[in-house]
Amino acid sequence: MSVIDLSKQVALGIDIGGTNTKFGLVNHRGEIIVKGSISTDQYETAEVFVDALYETIKPLIDKHCDGKIMEGIGVGAPNANYYTGTIEHAPNLPWKGVIPFADLMTAKFGSPCKMTNDANAAALGEMMYGAARGMKDFIMITLGTGVGSGIVSGGNLIYGHDGFAGELGHTIVKPGGRKHWSTGSEGSLEAYASATGIAITAKKMRAEFPDSMLNSYPEDAINSKTVYECAEKGDAVAIEVFRYTGQKLGEALANFVMFSSPQAILLFGGVIKAGDFILKPAKLHMERNLLPIFRNKVKLVFSELDEADAAILGASALVWEK
Amino acid sequence: MSVIDLSKQVALGIDIGGTNTKFGLVNHRGEIIVKGSISTDQYETAEVFVDALYETIKPLIDKHCDGKIMEGIGVGAPNANYYTGTIEHAPNLPWKGVIPFADLMTAKFGSPCKMTNDANAAALGEMMYGAARGMKDFIMITLGTGVGSGIVSGGNLIYGHDGFAGELGHTIVKPGGRKHWSTGSEGSLEAYASATGIAITAKKMRAEFPDSMLNSYPEDAINSKTVYECAEKGDAVAIEVFRYTGQKLGEALANFVMFSSPQAILLFGGVIKAGDFILKPAKLHMERNLLPIFRNKVKLVFSELDEADAAILGASALVWEK
């Protein structure tokens, strides 16, 4: 039997976004040894992008990981397929079609590469390093420009038969409701609870209430940050924007709880800066829509991970996943 | 190494309903060797009920299982907790509070006993003997007096942190919609897609359309069976009752697909006798509400198990579950 010295193992975590790609070398305790980023959208093909990643990261590996074992590479990316290691028709990335991304990475770096979407990676990161340590059943909801999700059940991420499970942002919370600007679906959670959705709600509501402080901003300055500023100053309309958002979120969360009965739901992303303005109504409407058997059991908490590092940590957690 | 002769293994499957309890001795191929039933609601305590089960079943075991190995007992029951083997506050059973049912069974029969709710048991039965053989990701929806569900992900039933996951009948499909006669929730799937819900829809719709054939029945004869008879004869209102039901079901199914990305959804129970009247609109509205990445991937099929035996087979499948 050989004893593995975990302190010598390192994973490369990569988070691919539409504009920038962040990466970091992470140890088993979730400490980022070194990190950096490169542009995503200036590379016309995935091949040249992988070349650029290698040119940037290889010197860092050589410098910082002397005597350590590179266990593998974990990548979080939109529309990434866990089973096949491909990125499939990602609308926000410059590379079209089905990209065999994990194979490209392995060929270049000489290490095994696992992939999943960014929200699933974030859920793994929470389970390994964050607020979900020790939990076997929880749901991670990322509330940013869009709404993503990662679902852990019985200690495993739910990938579904095709690797694309957990698109909770696109579940319908209000049939026939607000049309989504990109998918065209009507009344999805993302249409209300994303930063984009909150801006839409705020613009509608301020038009109805000329006295609202929200009317002192130009149209393009209305976002979840400015709504929060107004809510903090006591503007009733801004507070109502978040209350309405929280209600829609809470109604959706109740449905998720009755699906997989998690012990906690973790909220993550820019929108949670609204704090109790959104958390309290979300909790209220979640509980209200639950069967009694589920009530007062599910913790609704904010992520503990630093937002800047969470995506890298989550991607690296793919490497340690059993 | 000892070789196990599967042909000699037998499981006892028990399905506890509010009125009657069915049981059967089942072999590994899903063949029921002998079956029977006793009343549920005439026994005031679970203890005397277990005694009565034993008095009924023990002679059958002695007679039919000579030389065979009783592998164990599987029980499907409302509000059964898989982790603890208890039945907890089941509204439709005569025994109140938390009943340590699996322990009572093991003490009496001398065999290990596993429990889960009836819909989860049905899903296991489908995976072992029915339309879901070989599938690792599917959802079973039972459409009867109520709407139940069992969710299989990565080859395992989703139980959740407390054993109560998979209450999809109680997810909300129309916020602020029809009030549920028992839970009080507003707009749950069960309020529309159960046999009870269909009867409510039919009574409302026939009141609006005096010409409908549905008006030839007395109030208490309006149920999913009579609505089906009228639909078969071409009554437009009866057809609309099922179309509306199918729409609500399909909208709910889309949300479930975006949660766990199953390869199939299996429908089971009395309501599916309505066939295409309900299946076609369900399929249409499921597809319509799915993200493109999920479209035209999910099979929507009827159960292959004989309804009379499915509950027994499903319960027995708990015994074989790894």
Return the pLDDT at A262. 98
With beta carbons less than 8 A apart as the criterion, state whether A79 and A19 touch: no
CA torsion through residues B106, B110, B116, B122, sign: negative
CB pairs under 8 A between A and B: 134
Q: d(Cα A122, Cα B285) in Å, to the nearest integer?
A: 31
* Closest residue in B to A187 (Cα–Cα): B289
Residue bearing the bigger pLDDT, B68 or A144: A144
Rounded distance, CA B77 to CA B211, Å? 43
Within 8 A of A294 by CB-CB distance, chain B residues are 164, 167
Identify the DSSP state of A154.
T
Q: Where in the sequence of chain B do the CATH 3.30.420.40 domains occur? A: 6-126+308-320, 134-303
A32 bridge partner residues: A26
pLDDT in tens, B227-276: 999 999 999 999 999 999 999 999 999 999 999 999 999 999 999 999 99
Q: Are B159 and A291 a contacting pair at CB < 8 A?
A: no
The pLDDT value recorded for residue B4 is 59
Chain B hits for A116, Cβ within 8 Å = none
Report pLDDT for A1.
47
Tens-digit pLDDT profile for residues A91-120: 889 898 999 999 999 999 999 999 999 899
Rounded mean pLDDT, B285-298 = 95
Region A59-83 average pLDDT? 90
Residues of B in contact with A161 (CB under 8 A): 135-137, 261-263
Measured on CA atoms in the order B189, B194, B200, B205, is the torsion positive or negative? positive
Span B178-234, pLDDT tens digits: 999 989 999 999 999 999 999 999 999 999 999 999 999 999 999 999 999 999 999
pLDDT surpasses 60 at A128: yes
Integer angstrom CA distances of residue B152 from A253, B155, B231, B301: 20, 6, 34, 15
Q: Which of A79, A175, A260 sits opposite B251 (nearest CB)?
A: A175
CA distance B307 to A114: 43
Contacts of A183 in chain B (CB under 8 A): 291-292
* pLDDT higher than 80, residue A298: yes
% of chain A surpassing 90 pLDDT: 83
Contacts 24+ apart (CB under 8 A), B46-50: B46/B87, B46/B95, B46/B99, B46/B101, B46/B104, B47/B104, B49/B21, B49/B95, B50/B101, B50/B104, B50/B105, B50/B108
Contact criterion met (CB < 8 Å) for B260 and A136: no
CB contact under 8 A, A167 and B294: yes
- Which tens digits make up the pLDDT trace of A232-257? 999 999 999 999 999 999 999 999 99
Helices (H), chain A: 46-64, 101-109, 118-129, 189-193, 195-208, 224-232, 236-260, 276-288, 307-320
Chain A residue closest in CA terms to B188: A289
| Nearest-angstrom CA–CA distance, A141 and A160 | 17
Contact A175 B170 (CB under 8 A): no
Average pLDDT taken over every residue of chain B: 93
The correct CATH number of A134-303 out of 3.30.420.40, 3.40.720.10, 3.80.30.20, 3.60.15.10 is: 3.30.420.40
CA-nearest residue to A185 within chain B is B289
What share of chain B has pLDDT > 70, as a percent?
A: 98
Query: Nearest CA to B118 among B21, B254, B41, B34?
Result: B21
Residue A179: phi and psi, rounded to 5, are -75, 130
CB count within 10 Å of CB B302 equals: 14
What pLDDT does B257 receive?
Answer: 98
Task: Choose the closest CB to B167 out of A136, A159, A258.
Answer: A258
Set of chain A residues whose Cβ sits within 8 Å of the Cβ of B185: 289, 291
CATH number of the structural domain A6-126+308-320? 3.30.420.40
β-pair type (B147-153, B138-143) = antiparallel
- pLDDT greater than 90 at residue A225: yes
What integer pLDDT is reported at residue A92 of this predicted model?
81
- Given a cut of 50, is residue B1 above it in pLDDT? no
- Contact present, B101 and B41 (Cβ < 8 Å): no
- Identify all chain B residues contacting A91, using CB atoms and an 8 Å cutoff: none
What is the C-alpha separation between B150 and B119, in angstroms, rounded? 5
Nearest to B170 among A151, A154, A291 (CB): A291
* Partner residue facing A183 (CB), from B164, B254, B291: B291
Q: Cβ B154–A151 below 8 Å, yes or no?
A: no
Unique residue bearing structure tokens 């095709």: A162
Task: With beta carbons less than 8 A apart as the criterion, state whether B82 and B68 touch.
Answer: no
